[in-house]
A and B are shown apart, each in its own frame.
Chain A
Amino acid sequence: MSEQVNLTVNNNLLLVQLSGDWSIHQPAVDRGPITRVLDESVQIKKIVVDGQSLGKWDSALVSFLFQLTNLARKKSLILDHQSLPEGAVRMLSLATAVPKSTGSSRKHTHWSFVDRIGLRVVWIFREFLRFVDFLGESLFACHRFVLGKAVYRREDLLFFLQDAGPSSLGIVTLISVLIGMILAFVGAVQLEKFGASIYVANLVGLSMAREMAAMMTAIIMAGRTGAAYAAQLGSMQVNEEVDALKTMGISPMEFLVAPRMAALVLMMPLLTIYANLMGILGGGLVSVTMLDLSWSIYFQQISHSVPLVHFTIGLVKSVIFGVLVALSGCYMGMNSGRSATAVGAATTSAVVMGIVLIIVFDSLVTILTTVLDI
């Protein structure tokens, strides 16, 4: 028996005497004995709580009384109290003033494994439909944008161009030079064995032009700009800014999505050309310092052995990559939920979706070009 609660049964009356200090900073008082007494002595009709010898108290006491009240209500007993502190009684009456809203409490339904698979499939299907919806709407918006009919702010477009283009040059430089150097290193180790180190130039040139420049730039942009788009549009959803635009008669797809998409689509090929240059420079750096090739031989070899068609393929891909990154960023942002967590989730999904789309599309193009022998 706890020292703070003393129970006395008197015919059909249970006297609960409370004493000592009650604080939420000490372990709560066990109500077990009271429940046990009530279960054992079914003749009890009334509970009287006596607070005469109470010391200091806080919410711990009120919580105890509140649970006792609920217990008494459930067992349809009368609960009475005497000499309880006035504040505690007021808090208690405040807590019992509004009845528990029935029907509002959540039932946690537990789905079976099969149910969960089914729900997931339905969810994926719905999400896919939503994406197709978004794709159609953005195509429509881009069409109007190209025709010059879209409603948007020029300053916004310039800002996005600046943000997607010149502001990304630093990171693109770093990554491209390093990728070029890595390619040259890997090739050099193998090709030197055959005395064919001049072919390092072919290797670097070809892989940068066809694949690496466009793909690495796209992945950088997915992490940098795609994520930013998702976060911007997501927070705009949270602040009801998107709703405000709609009520002003402005299509969010034209005003928000189209300029972002245009900025990425315009900047991606330029960044890719730049990445090509940087990658080839990086490869050259390794070739000149490690393989005794001169810069002129290196560049000559590249210009002879890598025809322009490879660069063209890389450029065309980079445009599509731009569309994919902008699409996943804007889609996730526009469909973000309206809370801090949801915006975070949208940003993550935008990056993941962007990178997956880039790699999948790139594989498709590679297979296609191999089959068509381009």
Chain B
Amino acid sequence: MAKPESHIEVCDLTMKYGHKLIQQGLNFVVNRQDIFILMGGSGCGKSTLLKHMIGLYEPAEGQIMVNRESLWEVSSARRREMLQGFGVSYQAGALVSSLTLAENVGMPLELYTDLAPREIRELVELKLAMVGLSGFEDYYPSEISGGMLKRAALARAIALDPEVLFFDEPSAGLDPVSARLLDDLILELSASLNSTIVIVTHELASIFAIATNAVFLDAESKTMLACGHPKDLLDHCDNPKVQRFLRRGEMPVKQN
């Protein structure tokens, strides 16, 4: 297997809201075509970390490197260009409520390509079909179910064939079967689009099913406790917090 190539690097990142410290000393590398999980208990700053990685928030200290280029040391025009390679699927979908699904998915295509309306429509049909929503082009976000909303948001995220796909809690609020189908869809997309995937989640089933790498954030010590493949972490990581998380609170019996 070829040596993994780094895609996004987080170097000495410190995140703050005003003066309130969220996390500090974050160091990890997301390799190309990884399915990378940001995990940790509720309120530890996973979503905030995601928002730093997609360039919504500026780091208090440290760097976010995308393709070895620092996101915040370049001009804002160049940054926008770099961010165009990102597709983001937000927790609650975040589709524009006044637009139909087709218009929502077509919006980035309209803005960033010179395609004719008919060509955009065809691409939109493809993207919606890929997430299993063929035939729902002219529905408004308020007229479809929560699971469909998540898939529609995914269709919008992949509209421009992104290099990196970010998911904020993709399976939150979905039944186990739908969550599993969404996991399969993410796996399938990562294989066919050759994209790198970064997911914020605390669904253990998903973590073990799809992750190739992960980082564990802790709310108390405000830093990362472990980084690696979740199964390796389960077998080899000694940190009790990581073990508790990965075993749903059940601690392995201590051997004397």
Query: Given the interface contacts A97-B132, A102-B135, A106-B139, does A24 sit within 8 Å of B188 by beta carbon?
Result: no
What is the bound-complex CA distance between A100 and B115, given in angstroms? Answer: 24
Instruction: Select which of A62, A100, A342 is within 8 A of B126 by beta carbon.
Output: A62
Chain B residue at minimum C-beta to C-beta distance from A67: B122
Chain A residues, Cβ within 8 Å of B119: 27-28, 63
Which of the residues B127, B132, B136 comes within 8 Å of A104, measured between beta carbons? B136
Closest residue of A by beta carbon distance from B122:
A63
Q: Does B161 contact A (CB under 8 A)?
A: yes
Q: Enumerate A88-109 residues with CB–CB distance to B below 8 Å.
A: 88, 90-91, 94-102, 104-106, 108
Closest to A87 in B: B192
**Interface assignment of B97: CB less than 8 Å from any CB of chain A:** yes
* Interface pair A99/B134, CB less than 8 Å apart: yes
A28 touches B137 (CB 8 A): no
Q: What is the size category of the interface that chain B forms with chain A?
A: 35 or more
Question: Whole-angstrom distance from the CB of B33 to the nearest CB of chain A?
Answer: 11
A73 interface hit (Cβ, 8 Å) = no
Question: Do B161 and A59 touch (CB < 8 A)?
Answer: yes
**Shortest beta-carbon distance from B97 to chain A in Å:** 3
Say yes or no for A299: interface residue by CB 8 A criterion. no
Could you tell me the distance between the alpha carbons of A352 and B13 in the complex, rounded to whole angstroms?
50
Q: How would residues 42 to 64 of chain A score, 1 for a CB under 8 Å from any chain B CB and 0 otherwise?
A: 00000000000000001110110
User: Which residues from chain B contact A66 at a C-beta distance below 8 Å?
Assistant: 122, 125-126, 129
- Central interface residue in A91, A96, A102, by most chain B CB within 10 Å: A91
A6 vs chain B, min Cβ distance (A) = 21
> Which of chain B's residues 127-144 have a Cβ closer than 8 Å to chain A?
127, 129-130, 132-139, 141-142
B113 touches A25 (CB 8 A): yes
**In the bound complex, do residue A341 and residue B129 qualify as a contact, i.e. CB atoms below 8 Å apart?**
no
B179 interface contact, C-beta 8 A:
no
A100 to B137, CA, bound (A): 11
CB-defined contacts of A58 to chain B, threshold 8 Å: 161
Bound Cα distance from A104 to B126, whole angstroms: 17
- When chains A and B are docked, how far (Å) is the Cα of A63 from the Cα of B134? 13
- Flag whether B75 is at the interface (Cβ < 8 A): no
Give the residue name and chain of the A residue nearest to B128 (CB). A95
Q: Is B109 an interface residue (CB 8 A)?
A: yes
- Bound-state CA distance A340–B99 (Å) is 11
Q: Which residue of B lies closest to A106 (CB)?
A: B138
**CB-CB nearest in chain A for B125:** A66
Nearest-neighbor residue (CB-CB) of A66 within chain B: B126
A340 B97 Cβ-Cβ under 8 A: yes
Contacting pair B130 A104 (CB below 8 A): no
Interface check A339, CB cutoff 8 A: yes
Q: Judging by beta carbons under 8 Å apart, are B192 and A88 in contact?
A: yes
Which of A90, A98, A337, A342 is within 8 Å of B191, CB to CB?
A: A90
CB pair A28–B116 under 8 Å, yes or no, is yes
Q: Give the Cβ gap from B128 to chain A, nearest Cβ, in Å.
A: 9
Chain B window 177-190, contacts with chain A (Cβ cutoff 8 Å), 1 for yes, 0 for no: 00000000100110
Residues of B within 8 Å of A94, CB to CB, are 129-130, 185, 188-189, 192
- Interface residue total, chain A, C-beta cutoff 8 A: 35
Cβ of B98 within 8 Å of any chain A Cβ, yes or no, is: yes
Chain A residues closer than 8 Å to B137, beta-carbon distance: 105
Closest to B124 in A: A63
Q: Is A81 located at the chain interface by the 8 A CB criterion?
A: no
Whether B160 sits at the interface, judged by CB under 8 Å, is yes
- Is B11 interfacial (CB-CB < 8 Å)? no
B206 touches A (CB below 8 Å): no
Given A63-B122, A94-B188, A340-B97: A24 in contact with B161 (beta carbons within 8 A) = yes
Contact between chains at A340 and B98 (CB < 8 Å): yes
Taking CB as reference atom, which chain A residue is nearest B158?
A59
From A24, A67, A86, A108, give the contact of B109 (CB < 8 A): A24
Q: Which residue of B lies closest to A96 (CB)?
A: B129
**Considering only CB atoms, which chain A residue lies closest to B161 in the complex?**
A58
- In chain A, what residue has the closest Cβ to B141? A339
**Separation of A101 and B191 alpha carbons in the complex (Å):** 26
Task: State the CA gap A27–B96 with chains docked (Å).
Answer: 27
Contact A28 B161 (CB under 8 A): no
Chain A residues positioned under 8 Å from B188 (CB to CB): 90, 94
A95 to B125, CA, bound (A): 9
- 18 contacts across the A-B interface (CB closer than 8 A): A27-B116, A27-B119, A62-B126, A66-B129, A86-B192, A90-B191, A94-B130, A97-B132, A98-B132, A98-B133, A100-B134, A104-B139, A105-B137, A105-B138, A106-B138, A106-B139, A108-B138, A340-B98
Query: Knowing that A24-B160, A94-B188, A339-B98 are A-B contacts, what are 10 other residue pairs whose CB atoms are under 8 Å apart, sorted by A's residue number?
Result: A27-B119, A59-B127, A67-B125, A87-B192, A91-B192, A94-B130, A99-B134, A104-B135, A108-B138, A339-B141
What residues of chain B have their CB less than 8 Å away from a CB belonging to chain A?
Answer: 96-98, 109, 113-116, 119, 122-123, 125-127, 129-130, 132-139, 141-142, 160-161, 185, 188-189, 191-194
Q: A: which residues have CB within 8 A of B?
A: 24-25, 27-28, 58-60, 62-63, 66-67, 86-88, 90-91, 94-102, 104-106, 108, 337-342
Across the A-B interface, the 9 shortest Cβ-Cβ residue pairs: A339-B97, A90-B192, A98-B132, A95-B129, A101-B135, A341-B98, A28-B119, A106-B138, A100-B134
